[in-house]
Amino acid sequence: MQCTCFFFVIVVVVVVSWAIQDKLATFLLLMDGALRMSQQQISLIGAPTDVGAGMLGARLGPEALRVAGIARAIAQCGFAVSDRGNVAGPANPELPAVDGFRHLPEVICWNDAVHDAVYRELAADHLPVVLGGDHSLAIGSISAVARHCRERGKKLRVLWFDAHADFNTATLTPSGNLHGMPVACLCGHGPRELIELSGQVPALNPKDLRQIGIRSVDEGEKQRVHEIGIEVFDMRFIDELGMRHAMELALALVGADTHLHVSLDVDFLDPDIAPGVGTAVRGGPTYREAQLCMEMIADTGRLASLDVVELNPALDVRNQTAQLAVDLIESLFGKSTLRRPAATVPRNARQ
């Protein structure tokens, strides 16, 4: 009987010791990520253009986000924030497509400017936040991030929150609008001036990309996305298995050697809560599902760059979509209702 009790005590001690070590390791990981992020300078970069979109209005997005208090919201999370103002570029000529692309020269100019601004901030070890503007701007921002990662020897993970796959090309596009082509361009399929922006083609390995919330894909895109091997967590996946599971998979193996870039297209959200977008698609994530996405990213402590795009104040109601975007960004930078227990961090994000 004494041997049995002794054995039981030993087992309890081992289990408790393991649990404490596991909790401590996770806590230290969280603290390391939080400290690393809190020491960073956050740089806001406005890109007021809608040359890549089919509808006017996204050029007003940066100012709407500023009015909604984006700088103050991030600062309240404990960061030093600098607003670098807006990059400059050509006006929207409102012309039809030429050879499958609308406004290609203008889109190239804007992306050159965004690339240089983002790369400059990354080189200074700042965290750039691009305030769009339409989603074609992600070509410039992610090309800069990819260049930076190659130079620093870091892995890259891109989380692409969007209602659309954005993998159109000149031969597939029904409109010629380049805001429907940034993923294709980043993966090496597009105009030379855009696909070579990072100094390497492709700028982005499709296996480093995760798309979340997708629910509107043109027929030609479906085949290309499948062939190229992008991991997509569409709304069917989320409906069946839940947003938490989708995010655990999307964040798997994100670690200390990973640069995590978030590209947040506001039309990712359901238009019932985010009406201020030019290409709304019903059936998107709820407010709480979107908040969970941001909170789980914040838990990793690895956010290193961000795009916020496709906000169209001309279609909004009393700036509510801009305010919602700022709410999400607050969570992305660590705002939470409670101090979460360490066990909420996915184990596969601890690598």
Domain chopping of the chain, boundaries: 44-349
Residue 156, pLDDT above cutoff 90: yes
Rounded average pLDDT over 209-235: 96
Looking at residue 101, what is its pLDDT? 98
Cβ(164)–Cβ(269) below 8 Å: no
Q: What is the pLDDT of residues 42-53, one digit of tens each?
A: 999 999 999 999
Q: How confident is the model at residue 121 (pLDDT cuts 50, 70, 90)?
A: very high
Which pair of tokens denotes residue 115? 């690339």
Nearest to 143 by CA among 181, 211, 196: 196
Which range, of 171-175, 274-278, 296-300, averages the lowest pLDDT? Answer: 171-175
Q: Is the predicted pLDDT of residue 209 greater than 80, yes or no?
A: yes
Q: Per-residue pLDDT tens for 183-194?
A: 999 999 999 999
Amino acid 26: pLDDT = 43
Q: Evaluate if pTM is beyond 0.85.
A: yes
Confidence of residue 132 (pLDDT cuts 50, 70, 90): very high
pLDDT beyond 70 at 23: no
What pLDDT does residue 348 have?
Answer: 41
- pLDDT of residue 29 exceeding 50, the answer is no
**Identity (one letter) of the amino acid at 284?**
G
Q: Are residues 312 and 278 in contact, defined by beta-carbon separation less than 8 angstroms?
A: yes
Name which residue leads in pLDDT, 287 or 36. 287
Q: Is the pLDDT of residue 339 over 70?
A: no
Determine the Cα–Cα distance for residues 281 and 284; give it in Å rounded to an integer.
Answer: 7
If you average pLDDT over residues 99-104, what whole number do you get? 98
CA distances from 171 to 62, 65, 131, 174, 213 (A): 32, 35, 29, 9, 25
Q: Is the pLDDT of residue 24 over 60?
A: no
Q: What pLDDT, on a 0 to 100 scale, did the predictor assign at position 93?
A: 98
CATH code for the structural domain at 44-349:
3.40.800.10
pLDDT surpassing 90 at residue 1: no
The pLDDT of residue 347 is 40
How many alpha carbons fall within 13 Å on the CB side of residue 59?
Answer: 16
The whole-number pLDDT of residue 342 equals 43
Contact 310, 278 (CB under 8 A): yes
Structure tokens at 252: 């798997």
For 71-89, the pLDDT digits (tens) are 999 999 999 999 999 999 9
Cβ neighbours of 100 (radius 10 Å) = 17
- Catalytic residue annotation: 135, 162, 164, 166, 179, 265, 267, 310
